[in-house]
Structure 1
């Protein structure tokens, strides 16, 4: 039912308009009457209205001024003016001020109904368009949010080398603030727990929990959430700590617990990591939150664990040490790995239980990222990772943890050895696996050679021999194929797709796409059945 206000300084005109049309039968409701434009504006402040029918000549505020004010303050309202034959100049001025249509006095009932139905059709069309636009915006934001979540997980879990590449990608996906050198962030690991009497409750409400977390993050500037499939019933939050972002981590914790309890009737266990500075420290901050969470008590009781474990300065896991451990694995040198591991975890007398567990977790994360990087996630390796994690959580078996980590390193080294001595074939397969996951990132032959510890000239030759294309051709073709898949989704803009597949701007993307496909992205999209 569309709501209408009638404005005229003559009472007889108002009564006549009411009688000329069966308003409710035609889908309209007269919700107010006024004798001048000022009264109408006052009514509009208190009532939601779709249509205003107004005389042109009125005291205090005439119809032209009313139309102008409506256009400025209530742009969605349709204004219809009433005028006489001698007032055509007024009507022309009124049309310039946003009037939708006009009626000549005396008003003919059929003409009035015709204009009302016309306006009704336009309003319905606008509302449909508004709903569709909102849906498109929601889809675009959902796609962007999905890409952001995947990249945040990549930052805290996988191995990466060059900060400028990461900063460029963060800029493309509208997370450029996280790439600032002095950025301070704090991670939260949030687990939901239900009643032991109803084990299916968590499964039923898991999607609702994810959506609720996304909504909480969306409403807080500088807060993001993401999901790691390695941890069940858990969502991770990143909260920016800066004067520009007014929301504290404590208020985020309160919001999560309050909303999850209120809407889902579930308990939350929240591990709070320590504040870290800069991209290089994101992994440490993330693992700190995981470690805090792992100290929680069992059972369906809401808890917040904040050990502030980074503040003591006892965790010396530098980039240099990470590189040495990685080099030992990729250089298939188990003895060297053991030496570095014992230099860090061997002296239990000078270490606290807390620092040992944190550093062991850090090594486990490093080894897990190498497993993912080389695509060697066998059941045996996954089982050893699980045993490592269990040993760390027990907190009373340091020698067992070291043995598990060495066993895991040995299993990885054996897989890497096979790839190293396969005449390059299996290493190239690992690189192809890596490219298929990270094609949207800024990748070069030089960065790949550093990442996989292979001479760049040798890698270039091996890649072409095994794949049949040089590296740059393969990467462009891969991005084009991914772009074709995205182009099937007509809700995504071309510029969105360009960023999603790793191009820095849509113009260059269109040029490359046409060169390879023979059509521009728009032409290709239009040709899809």
Structure 2
């Protein structure tokens, strides 16, 4: 059987169409969507042979969807549903490659007649199309994977010049020794504290639609390169020879047109401009710091130079509409606040760094600047909490061990004695005297 995806912003229409007896003419329903972006996201998850779509829809209409399908899935057939007033759009759709169109209200016999004829044609085409589409899809996925991996390593600053040149060629990343590069990071304010509370289906749609739109609004305009983190929906940009502030303001406005889809405002951190590709990680750290210091969000934050090698001379980012940027001090305070709230769990440096949106190495360096490393801060906090809990005779010692985040009582006892000078039992007895 061939699969159909039905797309219409009116739930009554799309559910009604989906309820028809499609198997009798050789089709099954692959899914339903309320607009073009949702349809494209669904097509990423499972193969679709035919799309039956309305023309007028929010976020991405039928004509835009048709254009995107012909570019990414050239062998997928599209049937257009059109109201009488939209007949000119239907003719435009046929010119763009739609297989056929139907006027609303739809007569079921006419609908099935069109799909029966389409079924006959697809039987003849299917085998050749499938082989070619599969090969092209594999090539796209491989190219995309190489591009994303290269961008991640480039931002991390862990590549030699030779590695950069080789990986850039494999990832089809155009290098230029005479270009300026500038990193920007875009974050949905709704997701600043993580993705808990957002359903998996909704989150996948957010990630997919962001990535899809940014391909058109950023890379297609030759502004540079981008990728969207599938775990956080955070967007990373490498701009080349552009005024990133102006371009990000434009991008923020364009994405804002889909506020109903994101259900969130955006905050953007912009790093310093660097003059060679090897220094892109400096711009990235600058953007990272600016974003982490953005306060209430929904702002454009301009970072300043960060010495990522020596960790000295860290500058404060400049934020629009913000008279008092907080910089590295803000990051440390947020990190310590998070640890105080989670010391009873397995709170690793990596988890804390993810919470404040910096790398573990950077956070470790910031802790050292306060006079103690991360492990010292966490251990002292846990021991002080243990001392308080031990004063209550209702708390068993083995319970206190777990309550302050330790799993090994012997290790806890040795650590406690090192810091307090007494074992947990000796300390409790001394409190009772």
Which TM-score tier does this pair reach, normalised by the shorter chain?
Answer: 0.3 to 0.5
> Greater helix share, 1 or 2?
1
In our comparison, the structure showing a higher alpha carbon Rg is 1
TM-score normalised by the chain length of structure 1: 0.36
